[in-house]
Structure 1
Amino acid sequence: MRRAYADLLTLALVMLAPPAMADDAPTAPRVAFRLEYAAPSGAQCPASSALAELTSAKFRYDAFPDAARASLSVTVRRAAGRLEAALVARDDQGAVQWEETATPRWKCDELVEDVALMIYARFMTPKGETPEAWTLLVSQEPSQAPAPLRAPSPAPSPPRAPEPFASQPPLPATPTPRVPEPPFRRELSVAFVVGLLDTPATALGGAIQAAARWPWFSLGVEVRGAVDHRGEVAGDPVRLWLGGLTGIPCLVVHSRVRTCFPVAGGFLQATGGEKLVFRTGTIQPFAGSGLRVSYDQPLSQALWLRAHGEVLLRMKGALLGNSPRSAWESPVVLPSLAIGIMWSP
């Protein structure tokens, strides 16, 4: 009889006991934004999903849910031949709470990596601290339903002794440090050149140029060669070869346009018929300086189509002929045109 009363008392205590607490602790407050991403066409920039994945990987959760109150806009734009990104964070009222500009980069994928790191460095919250209120993701509290009665859990089993030869977990990989970029961008180009007045007729040839480019300035060296197969002096056919070296300092006035001030020097070699007498020899030096304007059209991330027009003012020109009256002399103004391919890694 006493045992029956004891059983009834135990059952009553179980039924009147408060519901058990949930095993999982409430989720810590999280920083979250609605991402707005824009990049110029032709810049070979990653998609917005790539930026979201890079940033979320650093926070270890989705930092850009659709339900976020705050917004973060990332606008990639061109700046002096490079690409930079403007970051603006706003609260749910549209007020600007943070804005920053990423350091310009030559490649857009590297710029996007920098942006992800900037976002994490700005809004990362140390453990135990609460993020800024305007950045928090609003989440609904889960409804508390009474927990069902559970049968008593069995007694925990005694802890197992560690295995003597258990393998150690692998150490995390050490990130490879990024090699710093040089302060300039290397360029190598080849071009087809047309010299309109360099010789008695039109001279055709080619040029190879190597240059270093900074955001607002470039400096290059060009080797040029051309030949005129159809020239005539006083009715006698003449063939001329041109070879020269040009120093090309330039001002970068736009991401695709440069204004250059070439200084050129070289030699002209001529051969002709028996009646033609060269007044100063068959190999003659020439020199000049002037103005060049070039335009670059991107074909890919590292390949560009380049065209330029140039006008040199003769400082020293070639002089040839079979008499003073019929002598040919290099004009004072020497225009030329060129089109080619420029490679910039």
Structure 2
Amino acid sequence: MSPIHLAHRFFGSGARFRNNPGDLPGNSRDDGAPLMSGPFLACNRIRRMKRAALPLAASLFLTAPMAFAQVAPRGARLSYTRSPGTEGCPEEPSLREIVASQLGGVDPFVRDGAWRVEVVVQRRGPAFRGEIALHDRDGRALGRQELSSPICGVLVGDIGLALSAVMRPLLPPRPAPGSAPTSPPSGPPPPPAPGDVAPPVPPGAPPRGPASKPSDPVAAPARPVRRPRPPPDRPRLQLGAGVLLGAGVAPSVAVGFSGVAGARWERFSLSLEARGDLPIDAEPYRGRIVEVSGLSGSLVPCGHTDWFFGCALAMAGGVWQVRASTGREFALPYAALGLRAGLEVPLSARLAGQLTGDLLINTVRPVHRSPYGAGWKTAPISQAVALRLIALF
């Protein structure tokens, strides 16, 4: 079977190839022409599989047109590597299950396979990238393709769909349903058993009708193999610290520090934060100087998408006041609810920088009262801007 016929077998009669593998329809839609026609366009699952597998299969055909002229090897060896920063990605058994589910339950990967398939999953900024390379029995590269996705489980699923399309011609042909191996007769047929001989018909009895043949058993329709869902990504520990500027809690802008500890998934995180505002001098009325500082804790659930994220905040703590003249210290309760918007820039596989802005409604507002009738009260709304360094483990 020629490479073009094999390509039609993979992708249907609508598949087209160009001279440059990078200009394949699977990589570019500038021409606006659809890749498929007919019922394939109505099936989103088939579209995803062919969109992911077309560049790899096409590069395989274009770089090694004589590979399929040889006898197909018995399966292929699989090398699956997860680089640092992808510990929460699905493991090799999950990838093999996805490929087998698309090939009727047959796993094409064997330990002594002649061909070798290399899959490497890496973290690239906020997204994940998968590299697929196919080598023949002599070590020559037959095809290479890169896929990416912001969710590692989806990326591994797309890699499995692409590999199933490329590995399909390596499987042995299946016998047609209902067919059985036939062998030439080796001798005369055996005599019928005594129970098989019909008894003689007495004279004058009506003739018997032909014996009814047993009906052929109807084979049950094959149940489609459902694609296993990739396992959920495992949470990672995140720790961080940073500096901030806050306004609306103390009488003026305060400088502070914050620390964070929590769990991080690909699209969600849940953290506990501690915030401390350094003391500042306030003069609620002439001649009376008070040092005001704050200490609070927050519960922060966040949703992440690429480099941006948004959070909800529930904060509780206290505001401390120290009179400079007497040294007397007293604390007032403080609580607030609000929202956070942030930008996260990956610095490495384990480090990221965050710039956040908080807007809070002060639900419990500390009030400083004096016997002279003057004082100050926390503002209804407070703000904070923070710069943090986050480490993922």
TM-score class, shorter: 0.5 to 0.7
Q: What is the TM-score normalised by the length of structure 1? A: 0.55
Q: CA deviation at 1:211?
A: 2.0
**Unmatched runs of 5 consecutive residues or more in structure 1:** 1-25, 66-70, 87-99, 103-113, 132-179
Aligned residues: 227
Larger Rg: 1
Give the superposition deviation at 1:269: 1.1
Structure 2 segments unaligned to the other structure (5+ residues) = 1-68, 77-114, 175-230
Q: Pick from 24, 29, 34 the counterpart of residue 72 of structure 2.
A: 29
Partner of 1:200: 251
Aligned to 1:101: 158
Deviations 1:262-311 (CA, angstroms, capped at 9, x unpaired): 000011111123489x9xx7111111101111110111111101010001
Q: 1:51-90 counterparts in 2 under 5 A?
A: 51-52=132-133, 55-56=134-135, 60-62=137-139, 64-65=141-142, 73-79=145-151, 82=152, 84-85=154-155
Q: Does 1:310 align with 2:367?
A: no
Match of 1:245 in 2: 297
Q: Contact (CA 8 Å) 2:308, 2:344: kept in 1 or not?
A: yes
Distance 1:72 1:182, change over 3 A: closer
Determine helix, strand or coil for the equivalent of 2:250.
Answer: coil
Equivalent position SS for 2:374:
coil
1:125 to 158, 166, 170: 170
The 1:46/1:125 distance shift into structure 2, 3 A limit, reads same
Percent of residue pairs bearing the same amino acid type? 18
| Residue 124 to residue 186, structure 1, CA distance change in 2 (3 Å) | farther
Give the AA of the match of 1:243.
L
Report the counterpart of residue 320 of structure 2 in structure 1: 269
- Distance in 1 (CA, whole Å) between partners of 2:127 and 2:256 is 34
CA distance in 2, matches of 1:115, 1:341: 38
* Equivalent position of 2:242 in the other structure: 191
TM-aligned CA deviation for residue 124 of structure 1: 7.8
Q: CA deviation at 1:85?
A: 3.6
2:330 paired residue among 254, 258, 282: 282
The whole-number CA distance in structure 2 between the counterparts of 1:246 and 1:227 is 18
TM-score calculated relative to the size of structure 2? 0.48
Contact 2:344/2:355 (8 A) holds in 1: yes
Contact 1:275 1:322 in 2 (8 A): no
Of 268, 282, 296, the residue aligned with 2:344 is 296
- Aligned CA-pair RMSD: 4.1
**Contact 1:199–1:228 (CA<8 Å) still a contact in 2?**
no
